[in-house]
Amino acid sequence: MEAFAFGGQERERLEVAIAGYERTPTGDYYDDNWLTADISVHCGAFQGRFAAALLTHELQTFHDQLEVLYQSLSGNAAFNTLEGQLALSVTGDGRGASADHRRGDGPARQPAAPGVRDRHRPDPTAAVPARPGGRA
């Protein structure tokens, strides 16, 4: 399982863990590129966890924007899902001296049927590959 996270080790943290592709490939770009994810949010006294469906191109677009932000330390990277389950905006102020200079915000919405999965934390900078015919 692949994962990426923002924030602290345990608190003030958002983690997205990808369990895998949602279904067997059929040859349709959108149907073949849905991923099942486990979203974990820890914010102050609030903790929440829910399952979400994400598209590979949503993650790839966010990854591309984060690479630019990482290089320049200024600008914005935005992650939005088609189904509105998670939105995240990361802004760099140009200094890049510490995490205090970056800010993330956005809604997290639990879908109708949440699920729980085991996770581990591999390389958070690795891009999620699209299926053949999709954007890599």
Residue 71 lies in a domain: yes
- Please state the domain count of the chain: 1
pLDDT tens across 43-69, in order?
888 899 999 999 999 999 999 999 998
**pLDDT, mean over the chain:** 77
Domain that holds residue 75: 2-105
pLDDT tens across 79-135, in order?
989 988 888 888 888 887 433 333 444 556 544 444 433 333 334 444 555 555 554
**Which pLDDT value is given to residue 34?**
96
Q: What angle do CA 102, 107, 112 make, to 5 degrees?
A: 145
Q: What percent of the chain has pLDDT over 70?
A: 70
Residue 48 lies in a domain: yes
Q: In what order do the strands lie in the sheet with 34-43?
A: 2-7, 13-21, 34-43, 46-55
> Are the beta carbons of 89 and 75 closer than 8 angstroms?
no
Confidence check: pLDDT of 37 > 90? yes
Residue 62 lies in a domain: yes
Residue 129 lies in a domain: no
**Which pLDDT value is given to residue 129?**
56
pTM comes to 0.68
**Which pLDDT value is given to residue 131?**
55
| Higher pLDDT pick, 97 / 12 | 12
Residue 131 lies in a domain: no
Residue 128 lies in a domain: no
